[in-house]
Structure 1
Amino acid sequence: MVTAVTEGIKVSVKTEYQAEYSSPLQAHYVFTYRITIQNNSEHTIQLLRRHWLIYDSNGSVREVEGEGVVGQQPVLEPGEVHEYVSGCNLRSSMGKMVGTYLIERVMDGRRLRVAIPEFMMVVPYKLN
């Protein structure tokens, strides 16, 4: 698990290779990642947008940007946690993702970019 903290907002990521949905012979590798967002700040916040860079070890880079996460724009009171699972497919057996969330403080509308830590996606047999 990797973690980053931006102004009291802690983002942790854990990945898992999904062998049953992958097809290495067709260069199709599927990974899921579980994101935990913990609001350790003193302010109520709302996650508005996400921005990802997805690097495949074959040299390709994809950029993904959009509203919320998995169809939600969660509001977190101080001390609250929001967790979700999403996925990514690669054309090679390893890659990485890194990104940011656009967060708004509900009280005053101040917006900030919260770091999503860089995380690796590697099929288990590559680690031997």
Structure 2
Amino acid sequence: MEKESQHQIDVQVETRYVESQSIPNEDRFVFSYTITIRNDGQSSARLLNRHWIITDANGKVQEVRGEGVVGEQPQLNPGETFRYTSGTVLDTPVGSMQGSYDMIDGQGNHFDALIPPFSLARPGSLH
């Protein structure tokens, strides 16, 4: 897996606490996240698989691996973006996620698009 200059996948994340689905007194905290993936490279790229590492405030780690995202394996030509929303449930009001997308370019080369760590927090939970 190599990161070449032609592989420039930008991943932006927006998170939201979903109060209507959360049950704090049962340690159920629901978060949604909207991911925007942009191909800033010079070659087309298809997202094949996802790998998430989700950590709650107690240090409990969930690893999620799967094919594609939201049932799709989007193909991104240079300059194109793909946006989707998904969610996760934590046992604590604060946590974090990070991961990577397994991508393949138009020449059949596999590479990882890294998703930097981002916070999940119920409003008022962080000072």
1:36: which partner in 2? 36
| d(CA) in 1 for partners of 2:8, 2:59 | 34
Q: 2:74, 2:32 → 1: CA distance? A: 20
Shift of the alpha carbon at 1:89?
Answer: 0.3
CA contact (8 A) 1:102 1:111 kept: yes
The ranges of structure 1 where at least 4 consecutive aligned residues each deviate by more than 4 angstroms after the TM superposition are none
Match of 1:9 in 2: 9
Equivalent residue, structure 2, for 1:3: none
Q: Supply the distance in 2 between the matched residues of 1:94 and 1:126 (Cα, whole angstroms).
A: 7
Alignment RMSD (CA, Å): 1.2
Residue of structure 2 equivalent to 1:57: 57
1:120 matches 2:111: no
Measured against aligned partners, the alpha-carbon deviations of 1:95-127 in whole angstroms (never above 9, x if no partner) come to 000000000002x10010110111000110213
| 1:80 has 2:80 as partner | yes
Q: Percent identity?
A: 43
Partner Cα separation in structure 1 for residue 83 and residue 18 of structure 2: 19
Match of 1:91 in 2: 91
Q: Is the 8 A contact 2:29 2:92 kept in 1?
A: yes
Letter in 2 for 1:67: E
TM-score by length of 1: 0.92
Give unpaired runs (5+ residues) of structure 1.
Answer: 1-5
CA contact 2:7–2:43 (8 Å) conserved in 1 = no
What is the deviation of 1:33? Answer: 0.3
> Deviation of residue 8 (structure 1)?
1.4
Contact conserved, 1:12 with 1:117, CA < 8 A, in 2? no
Structure 1 contact 95–120 (Cα < 8 Å) conserved:
yes
For 2:11 and 2:59, the matched residues in 1 are separated by 27
How far apart, CA to CA, are the structure 1 residues paired with 2:109 and 2:72? Answer: 20
TM-score between the two structures when normalised by the length of structure 2: 0.93
Q: Secondary structure at the match of 1:124?
A: coil
